[in-house]
Amino acid sequence: MTTETLTLAEIETLAFEALTRAGASRAQAQPLARATAETEADGVASHGLAYIPVYCEHLRCGKVRGDAVPEVTRPRPGLVVADAGQGFAHAAIAAGFAEAIPAARTQGVAALAVRESYNCGVLGVHTRALAEAGLVGLGFTNAPASIAPAGGARPVVGTNPVSLAAPDGAGGVALLIDQSASVIAKSEIMAHAREGRAIPEGWALGPDGAATTDPERALAGSMAPAGGYKGAGLALLVEVMAAALTGATLGRDASPFSGPKGGPPRTGQCFVALDPAASSGGAYAARIAALTEAIRAEPGARLPGDGRAAARARAQREGVAVRAATLERIRAL
């Protein structure tokens, strides 16, 4: 596989130029370009530059509004609402965090509800921003339906990721959990389909409900929930938080995040930020350190977030190896 090594600044610039040429305003493109570089740094290539051609296609066909201006309101002291205006989620989340982070520091807790939104990429990128601000961050985002409820066959909810980012008490991130309700993120199956590669058995079901290794049949069928009915329950939890609570479109009614059909998906996100200094009696830093150290001390154990942190440090030193085919598609835009 041929690759080209880019710095994080080069990745951000490449993404920004492609997005603005496709019709995104500077205010819409900048947060998404920055998140794209962060995602590549984290080693999550399926959600990084590989998605830029999709974003550009959606700008051109009107599935996402490149000129949207998020509308931020404060209906209650501890609640911030950001209407994305059918623009990119990243711009709305950034605008909402500008209000929610100070509110959480002042009050001890604050929530951000985002509606009329779009695919927010890697959810952990956003919750990590809360942790870097010294807050425990919870994040929820819904997606177009791709998981059937327990005992059912027709998809009703999306892969619906949930994320928790915990600060270390010293300006860093101690722990980062970021997982979807499905066995694997749908974007991984989409990547396999683009590349003509079979998927591992157990990732998805075909339209007939039988297990499949064909990514095209998987995309026409349903994703396998992680842990069976427990994964389906987690997806429902996220649907309540990110769609029902925010006033966003339910996954069953949202247009796909891929392809030009269906108009804006109008999905949603929800974030809860808590200040551990306000709730722990000064014990938070010691408790989170003891917890993470206990996990790292266990032979063979993996602490959620360590892999991404190591990849990010490496990317800052050495850059990121990006597939040449991906770069060709973006530069051709």
Residues marked as catalytic: 46-47, 188
3-class DSSP assignment, residue 74: strand
d(CA 227, CA 333) in angstroms, rounded, equals 40
Triad 183, 197, 148: Cα angle to 5° = 30
Q: Is the Cβ–Cβ distance between 31 and 91 less than 8 Å?
A: yes
Phi/psi-derived region of residue 138, left when phi > 0, alpha when psi is between -120 and 50, beta in every other case: beta
Q: Is the Cβ–Cβ distance between 212 and 204 less than 8 Å?
A: yes
3-class DSSP assignment, residue 99: helix
**H or E segment at 174?**
strand 173-179
